[in-house]
Structure 1
Amino acid sequence: MRNSFFFLFIIAAISLTSCRKDFDFEPSNGNLGFSKDTVYLDTVFTNIGSSTYTLKVYNRSDKDINIPTIQLAKGMNSKYRMMVDGMQGTEGKIFNNVELLAKDSLFIFIETTIDYDDFANPEAEYLYTDQILFDAGTKQQKVELVTLVKDAVFLYPTRDNEGNYEQIPIGVDEEGNPITGRGFFLDDTERHWTKDKPYVIYGYAGVPANETLTIDAGARVHFHSGSALIAYNGSSIKINGSRSFTNQLENEVIFEGDRLEPGFSDSPGQWLAIWLTNGSTGHEFTNLTIKNATVGILVSGNAGINNPVADLKLKNVQIYNSSNAGILAQTGHIQGENVVINWGGSSSFIGSYGGKYDFKHCTFNNNWSGSRKYAVALDNFIDGATPEIQPLDASFKNCIIFSSNQSGLLLNKKEGSDNFNTVFTKCQIKLSTSINTTNNLYSFVNDATNIVRNGNPNFLDISNNKLAIGEESSANGFGDSTVAAQVPEDIKGTARNLTSPDLGAYESITFEEE
Structure 2
Amino acid sequence: MKRLLSFFLCFGILIFWSSCRNDFEFTPSKGQLEFAKDTIYLDTVFTNIGSSTYNLKVYNRSDDDIVIPTIQFENGVNSRYRMNIDGTTGLEGAQEGKFFEDVELLAKDSLFIFIETTIDISTLGGLENQFLYTDKILFDSGNNQQDIDVVTLVKDAVFIYPSKDAVTGIVETLSFDVDGDGTPDETTLQGRFLADDELTFTNEKPYVIYGYAGVGAGKTLTMEAGARVHFHADSGIIVTNNGSLNINGALSTDQETLENEVILEGDRLEPLYEDIPGQWGTIWLFNGSENNTINYATIKNATIGVLSEGDQNATNNKLTIRNSQIYNVSSYGILGRATSIRAENLVINNAGQSSFAGTYGGKYNFTHCTIANYWNNSFRQFPALLLNDFIVDENNAVFTNDLIEANFNNCIIYGNDNPEFLLENEGDIFNYKFTNCLLRFDNNDLQGNGNYDFDDESFYVGNVFNEQPDFENSSENMMRIGADSGANGIGLSAFASQVPNDILEKSRSASPDAGAYQSVVFDED
Which AA in structure 2 matches 1:130?
Answer: D
Q: What is the Cα-based RMSD across aligned positions, in Å?
A: 2.4
Q: What is the deviation of 1:34?
A: 0.8
Higher mean alpha-carbon deviation, 128-137 vs 219-228, is at 219-228
2:203 is aligned, of 189, 195, 219, to 195
Distance 1:129 1:396 in 2: 53
Gaps of 5+ in 1: none
Which residue in the other structure is 1:324 paired with? 331
Which AA in structure 2 matches 1:329?
Answer: G
Which residue in the other structure is 1:374 paired with? 383
2:319 is aligned, of 312, 322, 336, to 312
8 A Cα contact 2:385 2:422, kept in partner: yes
Distance 1:264 1:505 in 2: 27
8 A Cα contact 2:435 2:461, kept in partner: no
Residues 209 and 2 (structure 1), Cα distance of their counterparts in 2 relative to 1, 3 Å cut? farther
Partner of 1:255, secondary structure, is strand
Which residue in the other structure is 2:250 paired with? 242
Q: What is the deviation of 1:11?
A: 5.7
Higher mean alpha-carbon deviation, 487-496 vs 151-160, is at 151-160
What's the % identity of the aligned pairs? Answer: 51
8 A Cα contact 1:30 1:135, kept in partner: yes
Which residue in the other structure is 2:439 paired with? 429
8 A Cα contact 1:437 1:445, kept in partner: no
Partner of 2:475, secondary structure, is helix
Higher mean alpha-carbon deviation, 259-268 vs 161-170, is at 161-170
Distance 2:154 2:176 in 1: 33
Partner of 2:432, secondary structure, is strand
Residues 513 and 241 (structure 1), Cα distance of their counterparts in 2 relative to 1, 3 Å cut? farther
8 A Cα contact 1:373 1:405, kept in partner: no
Which residue in the other structure is 1:41 paired with? 42
Distance 1:73 1:16 in 2: 45
- Once the two structures are superposed, the pairs formed by residues 374-393 of structure 1 within 5 Å of their partners are 374-384=383-393, 388-392=399-403, 393=405
8 A Cα contact 2:383 2:418, kept in partner: no
Q: What is the deviation of 1:412?
A: 2.0
Could you tell me the TM-score, scaled by structure 2's length? 0.91
Which AA in structure 1 matches 2:365?
Answer: D
Q: What is the deviation of 1:421?
A: 1.6
Gaps of 5+ in 2: none
8 A Cα contact 2:364 2:406, kept in partner: yes
1:294 is aligned, of 282, 299, 303, to 303
Distance 1:165 1:98 in 2: 44
Partner of 1:309, secondary structure, is coil
The yes-or-no answer on 1:154 pairing with 2:166 is no
Which residue in the other structure is 1:506 paired with? 517
* Deviations, residues 193-237 of structure 1 (Å, cap 9, x unaligned): 111111111111100112111111111111112211110111000
Which residue in the other structure is 2:476 paired with? 464
Which AA in structure 2 matches 1:197?
Answer: K
Which residue in the other structure is 2:421 paired with? 409
Which AA in structure 2 matches 1:425?
Answer: T
Distance 2:359 2:4 in 1: 76
Which AA in structure 1 matches 2:173?
Answer: Q
Higher mean alpha-carbon deviation, 164-173 vs 503-512, is at 164-173
8 A Cα contact 1:171 1:179, kept in partner: no
Which AA in structure 1 matches 2:514?
Answer: L
- Once the two structures are superposed, the pairs formed by residues 227-266 of structure 1 within 5 Å of their partners are 227-247=235-255, 248-266=257-275
Residues 161 and 33 (structure 1), Cα distance of their counterparts in 2 relative to 1, 3 Å cut? closer
Which residue in the other structure is 2:499 paired with? 487
Which residue in the other structure is 1:116 paired with? 121
The yes-or-no answer on 1:131 pairing with 2:131 is no
Which AA in structure 1 matches 2:156?
Answer: D
Distance 2:331 2:10 in 1: 59
- Once the two structures are superposed, the pairs formed by residues 327-342 of structure 1 within 5 Å of their partners are 327-342=334-349
* Deviations, residues 351-407 of structure 1 (Å, cap 9, x unaligned): 111111110000011111324242111111111388711111211111111111222
Distance 2:5 2:409 in 1: 86
Partner of 1:436, secondary structure, is helix
Which AA in structure 1 matches 2:175?
Answer: P
* Deviations, residues 265-300 of structure 1 (Å, cap 9, x unaligned): 111111111011110010010001101111110112
Q: What is the deviation of 1:57?
A: 0.8
* Deviations, residues 318-351 of structure 1 (Å, cap 9, x unaligned): 0010011111111111000000011101111111
Residues 428 and 138 (structure 1), Cα distance of their counterparts in 2 relative to 1, 3 Å cut? same
8 A Cα contact 1:358 1:395, kept in partner: yes
The yes-or-no answer on 1:443 pairing with 2:453 is yes
Which AA in structure 2 matches 1:122?
Answer: L
The yes-or-no answer on 1:84 pairing with 2:92 is no
Could you tell me the TM-score, scaled by structure 1's length? 0.93
Residues 402 and 6 (structure 1), Cα distance of their counterparts in 2 relative to 1, 3 Å cut? farther
Partner of 2:446, secondary structure, is coil
Runs of 4+ in 1 over 3 A off after TM superposition: 1-22, 159-164, 169-173, 432-436, 445-449
Which AA in structure 2 matches 1:82?
Answer: M
Which AA in structure 2 matches 1:431?
Answer: F
- Once the two structures are superposed, the pairs formed by residues 15-94 of structure 1 within 5 Å of their partners are 22-90=23-91, 91-94=96-99
Which AA in structure 2 matches 1:99?
Answer: E
Residues 483 and 172 (structure 1), Cα distance of their counterparts in 2 relative to 1, 3 Å cut? closer
Which AA in structure 2 matches 1:505?
Answer: A
Which AA in structure 2 matches 1:189?
Answer: D
8 A Cα contact 2:174 2:186, kept in partner: no
8 A Cα contact 1:171 1:180, kept in partner: no
Residues 270 and 9 (structure 1), Cα distance of their counterparts in 2 relative to 1, 3 Å cut? farther
Distance 2:369 2:82 in 1: 48
Which residue in the other structure is 2:107 paired with? 102
Which AA in structure 2 matches 1:75?
Answer: G
Distance 1:107 1:171 in 2: 54
Residues 31 and 161 (structure 1), Cα distance of their counterparts in 2 relative to 1, 3 Å cut? closer
Distance 1:445 1:183 in 2: 51
Which AA in structure 1 matches 2:62?
Answer: S
Which AA in structure 1 matches 2:520?
Answer: I
Which residue in the other structure is 1:208 paired with? 216
The yes-or-no answer on 1:169 pairing with 2:203 is no
Partner of 2:250, secondary structure, is coil
Q: What is the deviation of 1:249?
A: 1.7
2:428 is aligned, of 418, 421, 426, to 418
Residues 2 and 419 (structure 1), Cα distance of their counterparts in 2 relative to 1, 3 Å cut? farther
Distance 2:10 2:65 in 1: 29
1:279 is aligned, of 288, 294, 302, to 288
Residues 145 and 426 (structure 1), Cα distance of their counterparts in 2 relative to 1, 3 Å cut? same
